[in-house]
Structure 1
């Protein structure tokens, strides 16, 4: 007979998250993340991203429950039959992006992104960006408010708001999407293989400064940003079978 999984509940500091944590702690045994078989964050997608960044090194599967305004990466909250839900949950494994940003001062800053890496203009001046793919210039000059590279898991977040494509989670693809492009007017981005190395070269960075953000980690005054899918880091999310990631992607594309 299978032993029930050991659970670490992690709650956002919102009143809703803390109330859910109190309910669950009365019904189920709580252990530390290091001792757990499964991590259960209680919050919205922002808190899920915090959990992924904080506990990725543990290699534990994560089953989120919604206690926030946005919960695309979360299951619905219920205190009933949680052990059975965890045992029946479907696994979705994906790799994050790794960003290396070079600043005007000559420093190099690395970060990991589960949703997207985005570049944004810092002032009223539009950014000018040259795009390299696997060492070859593919777009000589993009004039825009910004540009982003999204994972399949993040393609329904900022990428979708910028009119980028929704990617199936198992597609081994990345989405590159411009943010308010001015030139070239007809360029709407690209779908890339996940093994593509993307390098953004900032043109005229002193007059047109640009920041780079990996999920919520920002680096300002960048002159060059390289992005590639991680070769050795993975995360595993758990979802109820009736509302798995594939079904959520369909819902996003066909719900009006």
Structure 2
């Protein structure tokens, strides 16, 4: 099973790993695109005002530009430790046992504007780049990533659970994936998509999938695993399901 997660705008500080080495990341076939994007982001950081505009940041966030300038030299952390925010707080990877951490590194992958797709244990530095941005030197990310990511994910042997958010879903279509929508249900059975707590619920779902020793191979198996963990996941089509909260 492979669970696709969105990244986060916020990143943990520091790290104890060696500086960025693209050859240590999962899916080395993505390295040509990664290398070009890293160069473009580092080069852009030399112009702070232009960086703020391109990244959608305020002047108070100029420290994020300084992070980007040091992207190739700063220390790294495993991806699941680097990303922070609501989803990753709910995932709580720091509380995993050793066995669960190893399972998380195998099962969880993070969609990334800068790196395309990261394994949960891949060593990454702190940086700032969101999927909705566009670097002056590269243009929109979907046009860069789709030709590289779609062939990669099309041949994945794993059962894929897609928890990505927009715009990361535009980076690659995954025809065989199960897409999970977080919804509420009123007394008449009408369902509405959850917006504010969407990430938290997806983080809790991903945590349940990491902690389970079961290895679901289809939507029915996924529903069984999730139900045993205390969630309500209902298939709504061959490749879609609602997480009712």
TM bucket normalised to smaller: under 0.3
TM-score by length of 1: 0.25
Which structure shows the bigger proportion of residues in strand conformation?
1
TM-score by length of 2: 0.26
> Rg: which structure is higher?
1
**Highest RCO, 1 vs 2 (Cα 8 Å, sep ≥ 6):** 2
User: Where is the helix percentage greater, Structure 1 or Structure 2?
Assistant: 2
